[in-house]
Amino acid sequence: MLKDITIGQYFPGNSVIHRLDARFKIAITAIYIIMVFSAKSFISLGAAFLFFVIAFLLSGISVKLIIKSMKPIIPVIIFTSVLNIFFIDGVTVFELFGIRISDEGLLTSGYMIIRLVSLICGSSLLTYTTSPIILTDAIEQMLKPLSKLRFPAHELAMMMTIALRFIPTLIEETDKIMSAQKARGAELDSGSFTDRAKALIPILIPLFVSSFRRAEELALAMECRCYNGGEGRTKLKTLVSGGKDYAALSLSLLFLALIMIIDLGRVVL
């Protein structure tokens, strides 16, 4: 069951999207998020979604994967849209046993659904097409100017690298501990909510203990390989940006401008 977690999953490929400089991809994703949240009409939201569709088609990622990435947020989507439908006042469209549904409510929850869905689609496209290690590198480089203000850019990136490296190891370990506790009669899947929460304690404690041990050994191994912080470090692979990266960035800015013009036009009209 724990094997299904897809955090930071990467699907290697050789498409234009895969080959874009990760720093630009992060910037473009940020612009895309601005697009999604600044769009105030269905037409402009559609334009933002069109931008995603173009990127998606170029990436060669299957539709199934995008839908799969949506799975964990379905409850959130349902919850927020239900809240919006019932609790926003406006012209009543439908009424039954004192429960009113307004046009404003329908509209707001419609926007909310589209926004959330496009948000998840866009950000999962980023992680699907960029290897975690390159992503961390890109984040490190983007934050580097801040290190002059004593912001720990290298340390942050190192922590992310190690965290990503240990996700599969710790998942495997959790599975092992769970089986071991089940073999000794622990009931993990039955009982009330509090019972199940309590049953997690004998899993979390050994997991923490072993993580501390791992951390100590890893620190030792890193020291043995001359790790001395971020200063004077070189890189096996450096990020290179080219024409296609600037083209992609311009395209995203163009879409953002387009969305703003559409919305502005509607207000003026």
The residue within the footprint of another protein, chosen from 132, 199, 255, 256 (CB under 8 A), is 132
Instruction: Answer whether 105's CB lies under 8 Å from 86's CB.
Output: yes
- Work out the angle at residue 238's Cα, subtended by the Cα atoms of residues 233 and 239, and round it to the nearest 5 degrees: 135
Identity of the residue, 192 or 234, whose beta carbon is nearer to another protein in the bound complex: 234
Judged by beta carbon, residue 190 or residue 234, the one nearer another protein is: 234
Least Å distance, CB 248 to another protein, is 25
Shortest approach of another protein to residue 79 CB, angstroms?
Answer: 34
CB of 93 to another protein, least distance (A): 52
- Least Cβ distance, residue 5 to another protein (angstroms): 13
Residue 156 interacts with another protein (CB under 8 A): yes or no: no
Count of residues engaged in binding another protein, rule: CB under 8 A = 30
Torsion 195-200-203-206 (CA) sign: negative
Cα separations (Å) of 58 from 129, 159, 229? 11, 32, 39
Please report, as residue ranges, which positions from 216 to 255 form the binding site for another protein (by CB under 8 A).
217-218, 220-228, 232-238
Print the binding letters for residues 177-216 with another protein: x by CB under 8 A, - otherwise.
Answer: ------------------------------------xx--
**CA gap 39, 67 in Å, rounded:** 23
Please enumerate in sequence order all residues whose Cβ is within 8 A of that of 156, keeping only pairs 6 or more positions apart, or say none: 139, 140, 143
Whichever of 184 and 237 has its CB closer to another protein, that residue is 237
Judged on CB neighbours under 10 Å (0-12, 13-18, 19+), 71 is exposed
Amino acid identity, position 245: D
Cβ proximity to another protein, 197 vs 215, nearer residue: 215
Selected from 168, 191, 242, 265, the binder of another protein by CB under 8 A is 168
**Alpha-helix residue ranges (DSSP H) falling in the chain:** 16-19, 22-38, 42-59, 63-70, 74-87, 103-129, 132-143, 153-183, 193-199, 201-224, 243-268
State yes or no: residue 14 binds another protein (CB under 8 A): no
Q: Give the residues lining the site for another protein (CB under 8 A).
A: 131-133, 161-162, 164-165, 168-169, 172, 213-214, 217-218, 220-228, 232-238
